[in-house]
Amino acid sequence: MHDHRRLGRELDLFDTDPLMGAGLPYWLPDGAIVRHALEEYVREAERAAGYRHVYSPVLGKRELYEISGHWFHYNEDMFPPMKLGSEEVVLRPSLCPHHALIYRSRSHSYRELPLRIAELGGMYRSELSGVLGGLTRVRSIQLNDAHIFCTLEQAVEEARGALDLIGRAYDDLGIRAARYRLSLPGEGGKYVADPALWERATALLREVLDGVGVEYEAVEGEAAFYGPKIDVQVVDSAGREATLSTVQIDFHQPERFDLHYIGADGAKHRPVMVHRSIIGSVERAVAQLVEEHGGAFRVWLAPVQLVVLPVAEEQRPRAEELVRRAERDGVRAELAGPEHGSLGARIRAARLVPYQAVIGEREAEAGDLVALRLRDGRRPGAVSGAELLRGIGERIEARGGELWEAAS
């Protein structure tokens, strides 16, 4: 495993500046590419699973969080309110209240349920500066969040569908889940008091976990203040465990916001809210990718997917042409010419780039040919540019961990 903070700086993915503030990292171009690819992936997966995306503001009036309960149960983690005339506005500590309001803004029939609302949105947490570092403990968080408004009968199926999405995303990203945790409330007044709701939600989550057939541990003191949750835990380079993905079944927020839908009987009924996050925050997900892969991202996530290396100036036009073709095909390609040093030095500098295409005198004379080298050290040898771009395109599409077919 690798330390994402050190690699983040070395690979020019992200950094911080004391003037922007601790826990407020910024993303450099290569990091932004990884983040874009990840965000696009999540949106696509969600669209395919029937989610609809919204945008909502990153702040709201203090009253909103009083209704949601954050103000009373989660205050320690929130930024202090800002005075605005006679109002107080707060940087939001979660997206749930906004999505509850979006649901409430229109009337809903049982036929529309389950209604899945998703957003990759900002939220804020007033972490103490002492625990800040890299992308894992940040004050500004981009959360991959969604809320499913459904009937009680649909809740287990929806939660199970969310766990499926999480499993598939981990496969596509090459992230390993360390364990599943059923997070229950602990002692103290941090949690809303309604034992019957807690028991009901816990029973449903156990049904979800048992149905999926994964092993899990129930841990007290790790629940959200409004309900129990399933946490998917990952381990970082220091062996520390953290939560990446979550699934919750919530009876509390629908009560607080007085949400309802019109049932088949024409009467008002209370929906259940399933909160879920596939990759958690974009920050933590990228940190985990760096820790597990050391910057050798899978092809579809790599900031640069192909580096083209003309041996000498004479081959530059051929190299430029290949880069242009790659870009046209949607492959992120760069040219590293002789001005960057010897061929060996350039290959070393590009060691994290999945594909390295060397064009020497022989390749240039043969027409559309490159000498292909792979990040994993293999050298498939002479390959046509067309074959190379087709091969890369297929691997971007597949999102797997394989770079090229195994040597025969």
Binding site for Zn ion (CB under 5 A): 96, 275
- The least CB distance from residue 109 to Zn ion, in Å, is 23
- The least CB distance from residue 118 to Zn ion, in Å, is 11
Q: Which is nearer to Zn ion, 93 or 310 (CB)?
A: 93
Structure tokens that stand for 272 in this block: 């259940």
- The least CB distance from residue 94 to Zn ion, in Å, is 6
- The least CB distance from residue 149 to Zn ion, in Å, is 11
Dist CA 87 CA 401 (whole Å): 52
Q: Which is nearer to Zn ion, 33 or 143 (CB)?
A: 143
Structure tokens that stand for 168 in this block: 């598939």
Give me the half-sphere count of Cα atoms (radius 13 Å) on the Cβ side of residue 329: 23
Contact call for residues 286 and 31 (beta carbons, < 8 A): yes
Strand runs labelled E in 314-368 = 333-335, 355-359
- The least CB distance from residue 178 to Zn ion, in Å, is 23
| SS3 of residue 393 by DSSP | helix
Dist CA 141 CA 79 (whole Å): 13
Dist CA 211 CA 162 (whole Å): 13
Dist CA 233 CA 224 (whole Å): 15
Dist CA 208 CA 216 (whole Å): 11
Peptide bond into 303 cis (omega under 30): no
- The least CB distance from residue 21 to Zn ion, in Å, is 26
- The least CB distance from residue 147 to Zn ion, in Å, is 6
Q: Which is nearer to Zn ion, 205 or 350 (CB)?
A: 205
Dist CA 240 CA 153 (whole Å): 37
Dist CA 214 CA 208 (whole Å): 10
Q: Which residue has the tokens 């919204």?
A: 54
- The least CB distance from residue 145 to Zn ion, in Å, is 6
Q: Which is nearer to Zn ion, 120 or 311 (CB)?
A: 120
Q: Which is nearer to Zn ion, 253 or 288 (CB)?
A: 253
Q: Which is nearer to Zn ion, 254 or 391 (CB)?
A: 254
Q: Which is nearer to Zn ion, 273 or 331 (CB)?
A: 273
User: Residue 327 carries which side chain, given as an amino acid letter?
Assistant: E
- The least CB distance from residue 213 to Zn ion, in Å, is 26
List all residues 6 or more positions away from 19 whose beta carbon is below 8 Å from its beta carbon. Answer: none
Q: Which is nearer to Zn ion, 277 or 305 (CB)?
A: 277
Dist CA 88 CA 286 (whole Å): 34
Q: Between vectors from CA 155 to CA 276 and to CA 210, what angle results, nearest 5°?
A: 85
- The least CB distance from residue 299 to Zn ion, in Å, is 33
Q: Which is nearer to Zn ion, 96 or 223 (CB)?
A: 96
Q: Which is nearer to Zn ion, 275 or 293 (CB)?
A: 275
Contact call for residues 93 and 78 (beta carbons, < 8 A): yes
**Exposure string for 283-305, b = 16+ CB within 10 A, e = fewer:** bbbbbbbbbbbbbbbbbbbbbbb
Contact call for residues 319 and 308 (beta carbons, < 8 A): yes
User: Residue 156 carries which side chain, given as an amino acid letter?
Assistant: V
